Each structure stands twice: as C-alpha cells, then as structure tokens.
C-alpha cells in the first residue's frame, strides 16, 4: 500500500472548483457550511461554486438553502423530490457541477473545508483523484476492526490501493465523475470504481470532526451491507463489460462435468446392465443437477450480456427527480 501523500505548498489553481455537499435534515449546519467554504475559497482566491443537494429533508433545510442560494451567486441549491440517499444525492450534484475539479464532502461539518487547499495542491501535482483518509477512527474498537477488514477486502477485489474508501471527502477531476452512474451505496466505492482505470490517485490524512448538531446516520449494520456490496463491486470491475465470460465458463464446466458423469452412467446401464437407481442414485441425480445448472448458467450469461449491452447503449436516465434547482440567477 503506498504511503499517504504530503501536500506541498498550496499552488494556485485558476479553474472552477465545484464543491458538492448532500444534506439531510441539516438545518443547523447548512449556513455554517456555506460560510466556512466561502472563507477558505476567498482566502485562497479560488473560483468556485457550492452545490447543496437537499435529500428530502423533513426540517427547514430547504428553506435555508433557498435563502442562501438567493443571497450568494456561488451557491446552487438542488431540491430532490424525495429521500434518495447519499449516493443519488452526490450523483445529482455531479450532474449539475461545472467545475474542472469536483470536491465531494458531507454537509454535517464533519469534513473541514480547511482541507480544500491541500486537495487542490495534490490535484495540481497531477493527481486525478485525491482522497481524505481518516487520521483516526471515532467509531470504536469493533466498528474500526470491521471497517479495516472491509477496506482490505475492497483493496483486494478492486486492485486499488487506497487506505480509506468510505469517506465522501474526495477531489476528482471532472471527467472521472461526469458520467458515473452510481446506485445504492456506490459512493462508498466511488474511489475504486474510477481509480481502477490506471489513473493517478493518492490520499492524505484528515481529521473527521464530531457532529456539532443533530444525530449521526452512521450505523454499524451498514458495514455488513458494505461487505455484501463488495460482490457487486467485484462483478462490475472485472466482469461488468463481459458478464458472459463469467457465467459462460462456469456453465460450460458444469455442463461438461455433469454430461460426462451422466453419460458414463447411461453407457454402463445400457451395455453393462448397471442398475443406476439401485447402485448410484444420488450420484446420477447430482450429474443431472450439474447439467441443469450448466444450462441455467449459460442462459443467464446470455441474458446478462444482453442486459449489459442495453445498459451501456441506452440514453442516460437519472434515477432521481429534481423538484427545483435554485441559484442567484433564478431564485424565487
């Protein structure tokens, strides 16, 4: 695993930076978030936009976001028509972003905007993806052990040698996430999904602050869902373009083995008077099972290949609905 990167002096970045922050019931933090991002960006003379995505909040979050977007031309507020989760919220923000570099961060102030210059320093060094790796984990011993194991499994399955995949706080060059189609909890694996293409990526240590307001949505049970999602990650990384090669090989082997076993039983039954059901009933049934499984896997592989073809050839249809998008230009 490569060592954590050390950002050099904060080299000036002249392009537009898009900061994307999903929010769910963050009425107490959203104004502070906007103020802190503005303070950092102004101090370093960055040209930026801050995209706030309201993920179906039940509190006053959207009302506050409307006011912030009306008062600040750099703030764009997106109101999703429902609670879609962090992955879809990020995807909606990425679709709206115009910057050359896109920085994703949580909207609960656990991610400190003061790290943005360090992200940009490493981007200026030529990296395509820069991640923030937790300097320490506040979850507790059990959650830390499970998270460490999960990150190790992700590294093995994806081949991407990042220390920490789960944190939203990352900087991407625009082309990496402009057309990424994330579903479920794919934001946890986004670093692996985009970095696997042989691009330059690195991490540097950051401190994750405790929440100042509200309650954390983090639950230890999510770690088990993450482990289950690893199988989907492996499938998309290795077999996403050619699924028939996975199911076809397994189906062909099962068909050949089952056919050979059943064939020899039938030959011995016809020519050597073997009583199959009296001598080898379970073995013969197992050989038939292998034949059926092989046929099923081959058919499933064909369907998976057709499904992937349709997936990559169809027009993009976002899995979310935007109720309203506001900025200083169109706020009402």
pLDDT band at residue 269 using 50, 70 and 90 as cut-offs:
confident
Question: Rounded to an integer, what is the distance from CA 117 to the centroid of its chain?
Answer: 24
Average pLDDT score, the chain: 80
In this predicted structure, the answer to whether residue 34 has a pLDDT above a threshold of 90 is yes
Neighbours of 239 (CB within 10 A): 16
- The pair phi, psi for residue 271, each rounded to 5°, is -100, -20
Angle, helix 141-158 to helix 221-234, in steps of 10 degrees: 0
- Measuring CA to CA, how many Å separate 303 from each of 153, 245, 293? 29, 12, 15
Summarize the chain as % helix, strand, coil (round to 5): 50, 15, 35
pLDDT > 70: percent of the chain: 66
pLDDT at 290 (0 to 100): 93
- The pair phi, psi for residue 177, each rounded to 5°, is -120, 5
pLDDT at 6 (0 to 100): 66
In this predicted structure, the answer to whether residue 268 has a pLDDT above a threshold of 70 is yes
**More confident position, 249 or 194:** 249
**More confident position, 236 or 183:** 236
pLDDT band at residue 129 using 50, 70 and 90 as cut-offs:
confident
The answer for residues whose C-beta is within 8 angstroms of residue 87's C-beta and 6 or more apart is 182, 183, 184, 185, 186, 187
Question: Rounded to an integer, what is the distance from CA 304 to the centroid of its chain?
Answer: 22
pLDDT at 332 (0 to 100): 47
**More confident position, 271 or 72:** 72
């Amino acid at each position: 695993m490569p060592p954590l990167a050390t950002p050099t002096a904060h080299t000036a970045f002249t392009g537009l930076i898009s900061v994307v922050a999903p929010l769910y019931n963050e009425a107490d933090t959203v104004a502070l978030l906007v103020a802190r991002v503005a303070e950092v960006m102004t101090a370093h003379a960055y040209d930026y936009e801050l995209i706030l995505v309201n993920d179906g909040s039940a509190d006053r979050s959207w009302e506050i976001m409307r006011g912030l977007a009306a008062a600040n031309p750099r703030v764009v507020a997106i109101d999703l028509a429902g609670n879609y989760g962090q992955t879809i919220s990020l995807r909606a923000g990425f679709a709206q972003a115009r910057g050359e570099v896109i920085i994703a961060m949580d909207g609960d102030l656990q991610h400190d905007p003061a790290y943005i210059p360090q992200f940009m320093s490493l981007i200026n060094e030529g990296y395509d993806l820069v991640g923030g790796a937790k300097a320490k984990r506040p979850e507790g011993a059990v959650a830390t052990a499970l998270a460490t194991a999960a990150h190790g499994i992700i590294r093995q399955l994806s081949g991407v040698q990042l220390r920490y995949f789960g944190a939203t706080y990352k900087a991407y060059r625009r082309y990496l996430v402009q057309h990424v189609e994330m579903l479920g909890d794919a934001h946890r694996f986004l670093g692996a999904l985009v970095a696997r293409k042989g691009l330059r990526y690195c991490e540097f240590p950051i401190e994750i602050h405790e929440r100042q307001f509200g309650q954390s949505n983090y639950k230890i049970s999510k770690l088990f869902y993450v482990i289950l999602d690893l199988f989907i990650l492996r499938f998309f990384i290795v077999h996403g373009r050619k699924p028939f090669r996975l199911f076809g090989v397994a189906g062909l082997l099962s068909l050949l083995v089952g056919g050979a076993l059943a064939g020899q039983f039938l030959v011995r039954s016809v020519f050597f008077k073997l009583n199959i059901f009296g001598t080898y009933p379970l073995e013969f049934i197992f050989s038939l099972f292998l034949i059926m499984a092989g046929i099923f896997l081959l058919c499933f592989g064909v369907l998976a290949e057709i499904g992937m073809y349709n997936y990559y050839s169809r027009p993009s249809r976002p899995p979310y609905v935007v109720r309203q998008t506001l900025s200083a230009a169109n706020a009402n």
